[in-house]
Amino acid sequence: MSKAWSAAHGVVEPQNYNARQETYAVRNANGTGPYRLKSYESDTRTVLVANPDWWGKRGNVDEAVYVVIQSDATRMAALISGQVDFVIDPPFQDVARLKQEGRFKLADTTDIGTQYLGFDQSRDELQFGDVKGKNPFKDLRVRRAVYQAIDI
């Protein structure tokens, strides 16, 4: 985000996500990508439109609408009926049926997230657990044993 743009719109300080604070930057994106934010409705939908100032090759999609559908059953019904063009993370139990339909393309991708294992080493007694009066994670040997038990 441009520092000048941030200062001009009062978004120099980070917003408070926990308090669901919305700043100018939430609804008015600053960027140079192939799409621009047209509208955003929290937990409902996001609409992106092609950026006429995009310097790269123009895509074949002028507008993309991302609709939030929380219910697995409703999301799958929307896909099968043609209300939506694709879904992210279809429920595992529906994957075989989607493959059988023959009209859907399923893509497996690797997770791009970071997975980590954190140990509560600050407390003298674990907050959650059945070991009382001590914290086994303060012992390096315990942390090492847990780490070595995981095939990474």
What residue spans define the domains of the chain? 3-101, 111-152
Q: How far is CA 50 from CA 31, 36, 62, 68, 123, in A?
A: 12, 6, 5, 21, 51
- The mean pLDDT values, 10 residues at a time, for the chain of 152 residues are 76 78 74 83 93 85 95 95 93 93 88 83 89 92 92 76
For the domain 3-101, what is the CATH superfamily, name and number?
Periplasmic binding protein-like II (3.40.190.10)
pLDDT tens digit sequence for 3-31: 777 788 887 787 777 887 777 777 776 66
Paired strand residues for 63: 49
